[in-house]
Amino acid sequence: MTEHRVLIIGGGIGGLTAARTLAPFGVRVDLIERSPFLGGHAARLSCKATDRCVKCGACLVPEALAAAASDPRITIHLGSRVVGACTPSQRFSFTIHRHAAQAASTPGSARTDPPGTPVAGEADAVVLTTGFKVFDPRDKAYGHGIFPNVITNLELEDMLRTGGAAVKPSDGASPRRAAFIQCVGSRDAKIGHLWCSAFCCGAALRAARKIKAGRPDTDITVFYIDIQTFGRDFDSFHRQCRREMRFVRAIPGDAFQAADGRIRLAYIEDGSRRSVEELFDLVVLSTGMQPPDDVKATASGLGLPLTPFGFAASAAEPGVFAAGAVRGPMTIADTIADARHAAGRVLEFLGRHGPHRPAPAAEGLLSRGTIIPRCG
């Protein structure tokens, strides 16, 4: 069988999943990632298990990363981007430009060409998995970037991932009263974002419960339009949240910082229609997803049309596919399924869609007893 090569643009959970799915079928993969790290936004998410797993899928990222990085059929180009058109003729010709110095911690098969060296390559199919851009909350009057105690959902993830708790950036203390504002940059006709970002309700409520589990005396208020269903046991999870937190069906219009550093939110109360003001120690903005800035250029280079909202279509030209959040807001679980779907279509396109002989499996799940020396 001839050797087939596939170019995957974007090294988040979508690109990693597509790569590790294709490689065992004997396909050689070039995986291009713009940043110096693999894993994308999914790698930023914390585990929000409390007494049990909350099924967000963030823990699947290390496994996908290790699988892609250890497969000799996958070449990973970090800090790189595809320059110029990726021309679909007989094959796709492309040029990779490495713009960043090698990252501190690189997977085994990462290319180590010096920055600036163009690398030319060819591929029989291309998969676009460049994910999404996070809505910039500075476009809203919540004072993000000005008031230290107004943070985004991803900044909260960083806190939970690295410190295990939510703190006020102003003084590092635990917040007594915290608020989540949903739909920041989603479901917003004023900015033309006529979509729900699909992951933020789950992420916010799971994070809120994680905060409550660590500090049960934290008062949490969730400002929302509609709480979206997530997980398979949503009714009971949602009821549990309603018992533990306050839900206000309103989106505050703006935020001000009080003299003591607390954040004052004003919103219209249901029923009375009055404007109500409340003070919070920490405000978390659930910033939504939007198409990446360069999706138009990348997609048009590949002959891939965009949806009316500017996300990529799933396929167009023969041999060109898109998967994951570049097609529209998706959770980690949906992205994994979608990336495998794209990989399956690539294999059908290449005619490799049959039973295959895998590379010999690594011997033994049981590793040697690893001695990790004292390093503290």
Partner 1 sequence: MTAQPICVFGNTACAWDIAARLGQAGLAVTLAAPGEACAPPAGLGQPGAPPIQTLPGVRLDACRGGPGHFDLLFSGGNTTQRITAAALVVAEADERRPNFAPYQLERGPAVLALSDLHQLGCRPPASGAAWQQVVFLSGLATESQPLIAGEVMAAALALQTRAGAQCAVLTGNLKVAAEGLEALAREARAAGVLFFKFANTVPAFHTGEGGRVRVRFVDDPTGEEFTLAPDLVVVDETVRPSGEAVALGRILGLESDPAGFVQAENVHRLPTSTNRRGVVVAGPARAFGPDPAVEASNAVLDVLESLSTGAAGRPAAEIEPGRCIRCLTCFRLCPYGAVALDERPRVVPAACERCGICAAECPREAIRIPGLERRDLHALIASGRPADPGSVPHIVAFACARSAGPAARAAVDAGRGWDASLNLVEVPCAGGLPAEVILSAFGRGADGVLVLTCHEDNCHSRHGNRLAQQRVDQAGAFLDRAGIGSGRLALKTLAANMPTELSAIVTEFSQTLTGLRREAKTTRT
What residues from 250 to 279 belong to the interface with partner 1 (CB under 8 A)?
Answer: 270-273
Residues 316-355 that bind partner 1 (CB under 8 A): 328-329, 333, 336-338, 340-341, 343-345, 347-348, 353-355
x/- map, 35-54, partner 1, by CB under 8 A: --------x-xxx-x-xxx-
- Beta strand segments in 201-306, E: 219-223, 246-248, 254-257, 263-268, 275-280, 282-287, 289-290
Q: CB nearer to partner 1: give 216 or 376.
A: 376
Residues 109-138 that bind partner 1 (CB under 8 A): none
Q: CB nearer to partner 1: give 94 or 230.
A: 230
Cα(first)–Cα(last) distance of the chain, in Å?
A: 52
Q: Is 103 exposed, middle or buried (0-12, 13-18, 19+ CB in 10 A)?
A: middle
Could you say which of 114, 116, 216, 369 contacts partner 1 (CB under 8 A)?
A: 369
Helices (DSSP H) in 42-85: which residue ranges? 60-69
Could you say which of 122, 171, 235, 317 contacts partner 1 (CB under 8 A)?
A: 235
The answer to whether the beta carbons of residues 243 and 216 sit under 8 Å apart is no
- Least distance in angstroms from the C-beta of 289 to partner 1: 12
Could you say which of 89, 90, 105, 112 contacts partner 1 (CB under 8 A)?
A: 105
Backbone angles phi, psi at 32, to 5 degrees: -105, 130
Q: Which amino acid is at 97?
A: H
Residues 288-317 that bind partner 1 (CB under 8 A): 308-309
The answer to whether the beta carbons of residues 202 and 231 sit under 8 Å apart is yes
Rounded distance between C-alpha atoms, residue 228 and residue 367, angstroms: 42
Could you say which of 36, 37, 57, 306 contacts partner 1 (CB under 8 A)?
A: 57
Mark the segment that binds partner 1 (CB under 8 A) among 114-122, 127-135, 142-150, 224-232. Answer: 224-232
Residues 7-36 that bind partner 1 (CB under 8 A): 21, 24-25
Looking at the chain, how many residues does it have? 376
- Least distance in angstroms from the C-beta of 16 to partner 1: 14
* Interior angle at CA 230, CA 229 and CA 231, nearest 5: 130
231 near partner 1, judged by CB under 8 A: yes
Number of residues that bind partner 1 (CB under 8 A): 88
Residues 147-166 that bind partner 1 (CB under 8 A): 161-164
Q: CB nearer to partner 1: give 3 or 233.
A: 233
Residues 183-222 that bind partner 1 (CB under 8 A): 187, 189, 194-196, 198, 201
Rounded distance between C-alpha atoms, residue 263 and residue 281, angstroms: 6
Rounded distance between C-alpha atoms, residue 145 and residue 130, angstroms: 26
* Cα dist from 222 to 32, 155, 195, 218, 276, whole Å: 38, 17, 20, 13, 15
The answer to whether the beta carbons of residues 325 and 307 sit under 8 Å apart is no
Could you say which of 94, 180, 230, 280 contacts partner 1 (CB under 8 A)?
A: 230
- CB atoms < 10 A from the CB of 318, how many? 9
Q: CB nearer to partner 1: give 91 or 187.
A: 187
70 near partner 1, judged by CB under 8 A: no
